[in-house]
């Protein structure tokens, strides 16, 4: 049974809980949005309806100026997302299966390219497509129930090669992808797959607290930082330097210095 939101979460929710699809719940909590995959009885596995619902939610939120950060989590305490729905895949004809696989890849890319920071609150198993979903987020917070597994090679597929090496490093990523071994919460934190590891009853509050801390900052600056970090992976140092310089110039950072630093100066008086 999943733990209900606490009173503070209820107090900040605006507007009321909304569903992007029968299996996707979107909550506005001030300047933070939490998306919950809601297929608890099936370990929150991905089917076409769920993938489509997540994509619609991301599309709508990407254009919302009132949103400063996004938290993605799963319903219940057993799984964040246990991967693709095998029964859905086996029962699909070739055309539907191809559509499902392509739309799943688009979902991962859309989440990774979401303009604002994303945090996965990994409340249980994140296996297969669920591990990819978590790794497409910028940050991951886990609990003692969290596990990761990247079983693509077991099914003759190459998956997670595009983002996992950036998170844990090339040698470690190769080990996880070659062996398809399950990774415990403690090991995930040790190798950097989890940014934070907390008790299960603190997971949602911690993820929301990190998201709120991010959302307090100017959204344009946060967007610029995310874009620059993502674009600069593998780029030469000089290119990285000038991309940052031009980003600040384009946003008029120097011109707005008086207003930008006024709160700091006021505190010093």
Query: In the CATH scheme, what architecture does the domain 7-215 have?
Result: Alpha-Beta Complex (3.90)
Q: Residues 252, 257, 258, CA angle at the centre, nearest 5°?
A: 135
pLDDT confidence bin for 6, thresholds 50/70/90: very low
pLDDT greater than 80 at residue 28: yes
Which has the closest alpha carbon to 72: 97, 98, 100, 46? 46
pLDDT confidence bin for 15, thresholds 50/70/90: very low
The residue ranking higher by pLDDT, 101 or 173, is: 173
- Entry pTM: 0.86
pLDDT greater than 60 at residue 233: yes
pLDDT greater than 90 at residue 267: no
Q: What does the pLDDT look like over 88-105, one tens digit per residue?
A: 888 888 888 889 999 999
> In the predicted model, what is the mean pLDDT of residues 177-203?
98
Give the model's pLDDT for residue 47. 93
* Percentage with pLDDT > 70 across the chain: 87
Q: What does the pLDDT look like over 199-213, one tens digit per residue?
A: 999 999 999 999 999
Q: What does the pLDDT look like over 52-87, one tens digit per residue?
A: 999 999 999 998 889 999 999 999 999 999 998 888
The residue ranking higher by pLDDT, 189 or 20, is: 189
* Percentage with pLDDT > 90 across the chain: 71
Q: What does the pLDDT look like over 110-163, one tens digit per residue?
A: 999 999 999 999 999 999 999 999 999 999 999 999 999 999 999 899 999 999
Give the model's pLDDT for residue 130. 97
Give the model's pLDDT for residue 156. 93
pLDDT confidence bin for 8, thresholds 50/70/90: very low
Instruction: Give Cα 48 to chain centroid, integer Å.
Output: 19
> In the predicted model, what is the mean pLDDT of residues 14-33?
80
Domain locations in the chain as residue ranges: 7-215, 219-268
> In the predicted model, what is the mean pLDDT of residues 187-192?
98
pLDDT greater than 90 at residue 10: no
């Amino acid at each position: 049974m999943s733990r209900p939101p606490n009173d503070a979460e209820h107090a900040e929710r605006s507007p009321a809980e909304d569903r992007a699809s029968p299996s996707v719940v979107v909550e506005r909590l001030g300047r933070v949005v939490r998306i919950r995959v809601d297929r608890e009885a099936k370990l929150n596995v991905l089917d076409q309806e769920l993938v489509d619902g997540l994509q619609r939610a991301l599309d709508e939120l990407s254009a919302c100026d009132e949103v400063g950060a996004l938290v993605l989590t799963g319903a219940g305490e057993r799984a964040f997302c246990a991967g693709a729905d095998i029964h859905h895949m086996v029962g699909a004809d070739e055309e539907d299966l191809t559509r499902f696989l392509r739309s799943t890849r688009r979902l991962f890319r859309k989440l990774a390219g979401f303009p604002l920071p994303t945090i996965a609150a990994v409340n249980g198993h994140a296996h297969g497509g669920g591990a990819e979903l978590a790794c497409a987020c910028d940050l991951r917070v886990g609990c003692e129930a969290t596990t990761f597994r990247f079983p693509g090679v077991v099914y003759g597929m190459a998956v997670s090669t595009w983002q996992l090496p950036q998170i844990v490093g090339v040698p470690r990523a190769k080990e996880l992808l070659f062996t398809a071994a399950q990774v415990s919460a403690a090991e995930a934190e040790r190798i950097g797959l989890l940014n934070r590891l907390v008790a299960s009853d603190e997971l949602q509050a911690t993820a929301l607290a990190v998201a709120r801390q991010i959302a307090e900052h100017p959204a344009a600056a946060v967007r610029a930082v995310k874009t620059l970090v993502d674009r600069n992976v593998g780029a030469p140092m000089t290119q990285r330097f000038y991309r940052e310089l031009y980003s600040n110039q384009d946003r008029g950072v120097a011109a707005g210095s008086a207003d930008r630093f006024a709160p700091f100066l006021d505190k010093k008086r």
